[in-house]
Amino acid sequence: MQRPHFSEIIDQLPVASVFGQLQDLLARHLSVVLVAPPGAGKTTAVPLVLLDQPWMSGKRILMLAPRRLAARSAAHRLATLIGEKVGQTTGYRVRLESRVGPQTRIEVITEGILTRMLQHDPSLDGVGLVIFDEFHERNLDADLGLALCRDVQGVLNENLRLLVMSATLDPAPVADLLGGAPLVECKGRMFPVATHYVEVSASCPAQRAVADAVLHSVANQEGSLLAFLPGAPEIRRTAKILEAANLPDLWILAPLYGTLPRNRQDTALARPPKGRYKIVLATAIAETSLTIDGIRVVIDAGLQRSPRFDPVSGMSQLVTRPVSRASADQRRGRAGRLGPGICYRLWSEAVHRTLPAHKRPEILDADLSGLALELAGWGVDNPAALGWLAPPPTPAFAQARQLLTELDALDSQGKITRHGRRMATLPLHPRTAHMVLTAQQKGMGALACDIAALMGERDPLHFVSHQRDADLRLRLEALAAYRAKQPFTHADTQVDHNALRTLQIIAKQLQHRLGIRSASPSPAKRSNAGLVLAWAYPDRIAQKRPGSQARYLLTNGRGAFFGSPEPLSTSPYLVTAHLDGQRREARIFMAAAIDRHELMDQFSDRIRWQETIAWDSKRQAVTAIRRQRLGALTLDTEPLPDPDPQTVLTAFIAGIRKDGIMILPWRRSLRTWQARVRLLARMDAPGGPWPDVSDRMLTETLEKWLAPFVYGSSRLSDLSPRNFAFALNSLLDRGQQQALENQAPTHITVPSGSRLPIDYSAPVPVLAVRIQEMFGASTTPTIAGGRLPLMLHLLSPAGRPAQITQDLGSFWENSYPEVKKELKGRYPKHVWPDDPMHAAPTNRTKRKKKAPGSVSRKN
């Protein structure tokens, strides 16, 4: 192999110092771990120096890169070093793109490509070495690839070597996972980087803080710089701020993120023209792997954006969180590759000490449906059968397998189906793969390919105003217009033609892979967007909530809403694709309308009639209905004829228990009955044992005493107070009912002859009686066979309490004279005898008047 200047270049790299050790260890061991700092040259030099080793005779090297841009960049760098074009000795494979040839021996591939290759050829025939580059990023596909390669190594491919390379990885756990693999460490060579901590107010947006730091560096002429921001929106906002600052012409603004067109990515990576400087505004994509020429200054916002999956809701949410200390060091290192550099960290040194040491593995936070499908294709239904640095979380993995079952990728026994194997061959999320394959069978394959491209790439429409339009069909129309080379206009909307070009390419590649005639879906076909989308998101079919303008219920039971007025909010049914992942109510960012009849036709196998017999607290009745259900959605409702009486009774009793027995038709007499029984129970009165008739016990025993009296009823109003009284009395036998009347009577006759009620609401029953009606009585009236004196509330002629006593004789002797004096002054026309115990009682309120014309007789 001709390698012009190759040896001279690699001899200058820090990693050259460990080439001999690395070659020797890989000759004797199947696995090795290499740790080398950023800029050591491991990505570009290591594959080349290992290619001619004896154990690599005639075999290929697969080197994993964390991103498409990194894979293409590394392949071009390797080809340049040996004076060739990409696709000869070195090439690359990324999603929907490949540059390899029959002579290619080093393939730089994205991590997901490795699992596809393993599923196609589990032995990796012809592969001698798999290099896991930048493994510290702990991407899910890298963890999966390493687990599968370990399963292959020494069994299906006896001589397969594995080399794990990283700049900031803690090597011990990886070495242990690889069976005690030896470790090679390269000290590296990096120029000193002056680190400045710049504390930024929590209220200051990242784009503002970064723009201020950039302008400071530009003003001090510190050189070309690389600024890290959490995502593309912040990059665009920062660029606008800098453009408004009127930077000198010698400064070039160069954004860099994954969905940017390749020519603009290349601009960011290339060395600026002589005499000019560049400002690269990048996401974490620039943290590792990429060579960005000319950088002397790094500005780090200290933030990263990553998806976090919620197995409860089945949705992912993009979250912004602080970087790890290892990532911050990686970013800082970008400033010290050419010479002394500067790093501005937009946080305090105290905050830096609180950052996590290493990046959190993606497998702990990600949607695991793709991983679960790959494992099912591998014949593994329990991840514990493989070795992992961090095993997949059980809830997320279980949710993933449940989704795959709903998508017909797994059968009822959890084994992969033929449809699932076809899904696994496509470079798509399982949802989208199922959608495309199903749509192809229904004659809507081209439309599904367009939708799949839209789901995986950036939105081609940018809305100038705050009011968005979430309609997926609007994007499909923009793509159709682009294909037809026709203008597309929509109010307050800018069209990203680069994004449309990318969507067109991806859709065409998908159509080619599936054997679908390359064509733009007709307007009639585009009207089926909601139906096609529903095959990908059957759990996110949405029904408008009654009485709501923009709130929906999803088939998975979660809520969703439009954050601003939307044309789609007039649709009674939607399929939601892009949501923000909030648990209770998620904001809808992209959706498509779907017709109710389409739902019922295409998802008839999922629609169920559900009979519900339940208590309705508002109506205070048992409702018996049949609901036509699609997940949590109710498509139709009708009364349930002839509901089972026992089920109705159960619901009736459950409703009373839920709402509380106070809703029963209590009357004052019934509460008095309850108090009388409880009194006798407390006194252990004859006739016991007396039942516990407290509200708590009555609630617990509704089935015993109330159920027989409401059998056949469905409404509370069917229970009359009289029947309710019968139900309560059923708790007492006949002897207890008689004893209750004798020992705790409702009324008592006082000396005046009046029959007065007894109040049992207090701990000691109360008899309220006018004083005059008790004249002639020397003892307090009693109940419970004379064992319990009543509490007398002795009233004035006006019915106001004058004295409270449980000892009437003591009252007459001690308190009555004073009470008499006060009451006689207030009520002089009433009888107030000096000796009340021997006076005649009366229920008259005043002295008897003399008859007209009568003559008083004197003694």
DSSP 546-579: TT-SSEEEETTS-EEE-SS--GGGG-SEEEEEEE
Rounded to an integer, the average pLDDT of 13-31 is 93
- Asked if 137 contacts 70 with a C-beta cutoff of 8 angstroms, the reply is no
**568 residue type, one letter:** L
H-state helical runs in 487-633: 497-514, 523-526, 529-536, 596-602
Instruction: Please state, in angstroms and rounded to a whole number, the distance separating the CA atoms of residues 468 and 463.
Output: 6
Helix (H, G, I), strand (E, B) or coil at 180: coil
Rounded to an integer, the average pLDDT of 480-503 is 89
- Asked if 492 contacts 467 with a C-beta cutoff of 8 angstroms, the reply is yes
- Asked if 182 contacts 29 with a C-beta cutoff of 8 angstroms, the reply is yes
Phi, psi of 110, deg, nearest 5? -75, 160
Instruction: Please state, in angstroms and rounded to a whole number, the distance separating the CA atoms of residues 638 and 626.
Output: 5
pLDDT at 466: 63
Rounded to an integer, the average pLDDT of 6-12 is 72
Question: Domain check: are 201 and 350 in the same one?
Answer: yes
Please indicate, yes or no, if residue 405 is contained in any of the structural domains. no
Going by their DSSP bridges, the two strands 791-795 and 766-770 should be labelled as parallel
Question: Domain check: are 786 and 720 in the same one?
Answer: no
Going by their DSSP bridges, the two strands 755-759 and 766-770 should be labelled as antiparallel
DSSP string for 765-791: -EEEEEGGGGTT--S--EETTTTEE-E
Q: What is the mean pLDDT of the chain?
A: 90
> Each residue of 363-417: pLDDT tens digit?
999 999 999 999 999 999 999 999 999 999 999 999 999 999 999 999 999 999 9
Going by their DSSP bridges, the two strands 303-310 and 315-322 should be labelled as antiparallel
With cut-offs at 50, 70 and 90, classify the pLDDT of residue 735: very high
Please indicate, yes or no, if residue 407 is contained in any of the structural domains. no
Q: Which residues contact 442 (CB under 8 A, 6 or more apart)?
A: none
> Each residue of 782-817: pLDDT tens digit?
999 899 999 999 999 999 999 999 999 999 999 999
Instruction: Please state, in angstroms and rounded to a whole number, the distance separating the CA atoms of residues 140 and 371.
Output: 8
Residue 858, CA distances (Å) to 59, 130, 855 in order: 146, 136, 9
Q: Which residues contact 271 (CB under 8 A, 6 or more apart)?
A: 293, 294
DSSP string for 331-375: HHHGGGSSSSEEEEESS-HHHHHHS-SSPPPGGGTS--HHHHHHH
Question: Domain check: are 699 and 648 in the same one?
Answer: yes
Instruction: Please state, in angstroms and rounded to a whole number, the distance separating the CA atoms of residues 642 and 227.
Output: 71
> Each residue of 50-65: pLDDT tens digit?
999 999 998 999 999 9
Please indicate, yes or no, if residue 52 is contained in any of the structural domains. yes
Question: Is the pLDDT at 856 greater than 50, yes or no?
Answer: no
Q: Which of 337, 364, 391 is the last residue of a domain?
A: 364
Helix (H, G, I), strand (E, B) or coil at 212: helix
Question: Domain check: are 643 and 789 in the same one?
Answer: no
Q: Which DSSP symbol is given to 815?
A: I
Rounded to an integer, the average pLDDT of 99-110 is 95
Strand-by-strand arrangement of the 608-616 sheet: 608-616, 621-630, 633-639
Q: Quote the tokens at residue 833.
A: 């005898």
Instruction: Please state, in angstroms and rounded to a whole number, the distance separating the CA atoms of residues 156 and 728.
Output: 78
> Each residue of 231-261: pLDDT tens digit?
988 999 999 999 999 998 899 999 998 878 7
pLDDT at 393: 94
Q: By mean pLDDT, which of 305-319, 431-445, 654-668, 825-839 is the weakest?
A: 305-319
Rounded to an integer, the average pLDDT of 135-156 is 91
Q: Which of 137, 164, 185 is the last residue of a domain?
A: 185
pLDDT at 5: 56
The pTM (predicted TM-score) of the whole model is 0.77
- Asked if 228 contacts 322 with a C-beta cutoff of 8 angstroms, the reply is no
Question: Domain check: are 199 and 151 in the same one?
Answer: no
Task: State the CB neighbour count (10 A cutoff) for residue 579.
Answer: 24
With cut-offs at 50, 70 and 90, classify the pLDDT of residue 848: low
Q: Which residues contact 115 (CB under 8 A, 6 or more apart)?
A: 141, 144, 145, 148, 374
Q: Where are the beta strands (DSSP E) in 138-265?
A: 161-166, 183-185, 193-197, 225-228, 251-256
Helix (H, G, I), strand (E, B) or coil at 235: helix
Query: Which residues are bridge partners to 106 per DSSP?
Result: 61, 90
Q: Quote the tokens at residue 273.
A: 């023209």
**CATH, residue 13:** 3.40.50.300
Instruction: Please state, in angstroms and rounded to a whole number, the distance separating the CA atoms of residues 107 and 84.
Output: 14
Please indicate, yes or no, if residue 12 is contained in any of the structural domains. yes
Instruction: Please state, in angstroms and rounded to a whole number, the distance separating the CA atoms of residues 61 and 58.
Output: 10
Q: Which residues contact 735 (CB under 8 A, 6 or more apart)?
A: 687
pLDDT at 637: 93
pLDDT at 859: 31
Question: Domain check: are 92 and 43 in the same one?
Answer: yes
Q: Which DSSP symbol is given to 123?
A: T
Of 259, 364, 349, 267, the residue nearest 311 (C-alpha): 364
Instruction: Please state, in angstroms and rounded to a whole number, the distance separating the CA atoms of residues 643 and 611.
Output: 9
Please indicate, yes or no, if residue 285 is contained in any of the structural domains. yes
Q: Quote the tokens at residue 574.
A: 């939607």
Please indicate, yes or no, if residue 125 is contained in any of the structural domains. yes
Q: Quote the tokens at residue 354.
A: 């609180």
* Domain count of the fold of the chain: 5
Q: Quote the tokens at residue 519.
A: 């064509």
Q: How far is CA 113 from the centre of its chain?
A: 29
pLDDT at 858: 39
Please indicate, yes or no, if residue 419 is contained in any of the structural domains. no
Length of the chain: 859
Going by their DSSP bridges, the two strands 755-759 and 747-749 should be labelled as antiparallel
Q: Quote the tokens at residue 48.
A: 């080349």
Question: Is the pLDDT at 182 greater than 90, yes or no?
Answer: yes
- Asked if 252 contacts 270 with a C-beta cutoff of 8 angstroms, the reply is no
pLDDT at 313: 63
Question: Is the pLDDT at 194 greater than 50, yes or no?
Answer: yes
Query: Which residues are bridge partners to 576 per DSSP?
Result: 591
- Asked if 336 contacts 192 with a C-beta cutoff of 8 angstroms, the reply is yes
Question: Domain check: are 304 and 222 in the same one?
Answer: yes
pLDDT at 829: 87
Question: Domain check: are 159 and 85 in the same one?
Answer: yes
Reply yes or no: is the peptide bond before residue 546 cis, omega within 30 of 0: no
Question: Is the pLDDT at 154 greater than 90, yes or no?
Answer: no
Q: How far is CA 739 from the centre of its chain?
A: 62
Phi, psi of 30, deg, nearest 5? -80, -20
Instruction: Please state, in angstroms and rounded to a whole number, the distance separating the CA atoms of residues 258 and 254.
Output: 13
Q: Quote the tokens at residue 346.
A: 């937009």
Question: Domain check: are 227 and 350 in the same one?
Answer: yes
User: Tokens 């303008």 identify what position?
Assistant: 549
Phi, psi of 83, deg, nearest 5? 70, 35
Question: Domain check: are 215 and 159 in the same one?
Answer: no
Domain of residue 757 covers 747-838
**169 residue type, one letter:** L
Instruction: Please state, in angstroms and rounded to a whole number, the distance separating the CA atoms of residues 146 and 389.
Output: 9
Instruction: Please state, in angstroms and rounded to a whole number, the distance separating the CA atoms of residues 813 and 702.
Output: 51
Question: Domain check: are 453 and 531 in the same one?
Answer: yes
Question: Domain check: are 286 and 197 in the same one?
Answer: yes
| 668-682 and 721-729 helices, crossing angle to 10° | 10
Q: Which DSSP symbol is given to 404?
A: H
Q: Which of 315, 348, 364 is the last residue of a domain?
A: 364
Question: Is the pLDDT at 760 greater than 90, yes or no?
Answer: yes
Please indicate, yes or no, if residue 776 is contained in any of the structural domains. yes
Q: How far is CA 429 from the centre of its chain?
A: 19
Of 142, 146, 140, the residue nearest 161 (C-alpha): 146
Instruction: Please state, in angstroms and rounded to a whole number, the distance separating the CA atoms of residues 152 and 290.
Output: 30
Instruction: Please state, in angstroms and rounded to a whole number, the distance separating the CA atoms of residues 748 and 784.
Output: 12
Rounded to an integer, the average pLDDT of 847-852 is 51
- Asked if 684 contacts 747 with a C-beta cutoff of 8 angstroms, the reply is no
